Amino acid sequence: MNNTKIAEALFKAFAENNLDAARSLCHTDMTAIQNSNPAMNLDTLLSFSDAVSKVVQNFRYEHVIRSETDTGFVEEHSVRGTLPDGSELHLTACVVADIIDGKIKVLREYVDTSSAAGLLQALS
């Protein structure tokens, strides 16, 4: 599977809350970093993804722009869904990944935090 197919499969797994599929695409010791915050391990990332899936109805990615790099992929997308208060979630994100031996080793996500307030409130 090439790097863009790995990216496609990862975000499909997140959109479907298929944590086993997401796990299978990652190194067991992978790290994920959001907006330069402290790194999360794979289990923490999957727990976060599961929590988001439980509070956001119709969670999905739209306006996807995905590019393969020599060391992984870059993906820009909009994160969409409906928050518990009925408002619409619309986050713009860019994800940069390093892939080693066909598995994601590092994921760096940059999110427009001004659009994340409703999500953060729903998660708390």
**pLDDT score, position 114:** 77
Tokens of 58: 């119709």
Task: Scan for tokens 């708390």, then name that residue.
Answer: 124
Residues of the chain with pLDDT under 70: 116-118, 120-121
Q: How far is CA 112 from CA 83, 86, 103, in A?
A: 17, 20, 27
Q: Provide the whole-model pTM.
A: 0.91
**pLDDT score, position 118:** 65
Domains, the chain: 3-123 (3.10.450.50)
- Report pLDDT digits (tens) over 93-120: 999 999 999 999 999 999 988 776 667 6
Closest CA to 56 of 90, 83, 76, 75: 83
**pLDDT score, position 120:** 62
DSSP annotation of 61: E
HSE (side-chain half, CA atoms, 13 Å) at 85:
10
**pLDDT score, position 115:** 76
Rounded Cα–Cα distance for residues 37 and 53 (Å): 21
**pLDDT score, position 116:** 67
How far is residue 121 CA from its own chain's centroid?
A: 18
Task: Scan for tokens 């996807």, then name that residue.
Answer: 64
**pLDDT score, position 117:** 63
